[in-house]
Amino acid sequence: MMVPKCDILADIGTDHGYVLIELIKSGKIQKGIASDNKKEPLGIAKKNSREEGVFESMEFRLGEGFQTLKPHEACGAVVAGMGGILTRDILKESQNVLKHMDFILLQPAQNPEMLRKYLYEGPYDILGEDLIREDRRFYEYILVRYNENPEKRRGNLGDYQIGECLLESGHELLNDLLASKLAETEGILGKMDLNSENARIRKEKLTDQIKAFKEIEKCLNK
């Protein structure tokens, strides 16, 4: 995981605490703040941290998003496994905390394009992006830092479906990701009922996305 080395890391939506446990054991962070809005997974995270011998290096907090943190408590944060829209909304509500962090690592489970649009157009520097595949599933990671005057970035092809950093680096999994997104989009388009105006508008958007994906493929395979 592309987490920069730091002293204290917050994991928002920690679930069972495995991210922080592994980062502490590897020496990448000194302390972890495990935050979740549900008691049960937080309790399991406590149990796991004891079993792995890192309980004393972790704190456990119950609450929504970054509401469990005060400014300057952590030098970085991870928000992984939530939908892109929810992640975006959490970031919007948390700028008083985020602006004091060195980085935030994001891994949207769905709708990465909605999160990217906000990040690329909003008060963030994009520090890097990565792509991992496990079995048939792709995991997209976006490393950012809050900045009220960010470097201006162009809107990327595919309606923010593909990360600009991934395009620039020519990531080795990019062709596979494109093929997956293209097949998914074509599948949705093929099943659509076009009897309403909203459906016809949606069809135009999906058609534009397919065209953009194919343009990216053409550029990558020159």
Give dist(CA 48, CA 174) in Å, integer: 35
Q: Which of 126, 124, 129 is closest to 150 using CA atoms?
A: 124
How many residues are listed for the chain in this entry? 222
- The verdict on pTM exceeding 0.85 is yes
Written as tens digits, the pLDDT of the chain (222 aa) is 689 999 999 999 999 999 999 999 999 999 999 999 999 999 999 999 999 999 999 999 999 999 999 999 999 999 999 999 999 999 999 999 999 999 999 999 999 989 999 998 889 999 999 999 998 899 999 999 999 888 766 565 556 888 888 888 888 999 899 899 899 888 988 888 777 788 888 888 888 888 888 888 887 777
